[in-house]
Amino acid sequence: MTRETAQEPFGARLRRAMDERGPLCVGIDPHASLLADWGLNDDVAGLARFTRTVVEALADRVAVLKPQSAFFERFGSRGIAVLETAVEEARERGALVLMDAKRGDIGSTMGAYAATYLDKDSPLFSDAVTVSPYLGYGSLRPALEAARVSGAGVFVLALTSNPEGAEVQRALRADGSTVAATMLGHLAAENAGAEPLGSVGAVVGATLGDLSAFDLGINGPLLAPGIGAQGATPADLPGVFGDAVRNVVPSVSRGVLRHGPDTAALRAAAVRFADEVRAAVE
């Protein structure tokens, strides 16, 4: 899970990390209200203190850390500098870093986004990045190719937990299939034959209830936001994801982060969530 093993496909590194550390992704979401809860100012100094505390507390014990890029971008170049440091230090401590950027564009612009997060020479190079396919799945090809070259991963928005997502994701195409089902089909094709796990994942909300109408067997990871503050629990995962549950990477943010700035409390919360997920999945 370090730079020396980055050429190993992301799917293989993720499978090993989840088996060793527990299947859990913890978001790094330094929004203003959470900084205030920690007794920090909503400025670059507060951002840096918050981020450093989370990385130091969790990067040596959770499988995945997921910084939300927007909360760093809002501080301009100084916020991005904090994000660069966090990515580097988290990876050095053994966590896989999933950059939650949800980028989506076409052509050379998508290529530039891919270079930002998926080129090993970039200061923001991450183990994986979230992307939006709603300019057409083919628009993601620059990111998919960059990830393949660098051994990184890509998580594609498919069935998101926000209610508004349904108007696009569950819309019917001319052939009668939903847009989300079409995206899942593309991901399954990308991951065909990969062992032990493909490197192209889907974002599928843990709060969506029964998803048996969708084929989640994409042979890749399923990033599942919604655990904790959004209302889903680890016990809900088998009912939502069915036979694909072992490939689920549950994502929790406020459920862990609200226990800061106490380092021991952050660690205890993360371990508790990971244990609960492991028990539910196994």
Which residues are marked as active site? 102
Rounded Cα gap, residues 155 and 126, in angstroms: 12
- Output the CA torsion sign for 57, 60, 66, 69: positive
b vs e for 221-251, b when ≥16 Cβ sit within 10 Å of the residue's Cβ? bbbbbbbbebebbbebbeebbeebbebbbbb
Q: Which residue has the tokens 């989506």?
A: 104
| 53, 260 Cβ separation under 8 angstroms | yes
Rounded Cα gap, residues 58 and 37, in angstroms: 19
Rounded Cα gap, residues 244 and 206, in angstroms: 13
Q: What is the 3-state secondary structure (H, E, C) of 196-224?
A: CCCCEEEEECCCCCCCCCCCCCCCCCEEE
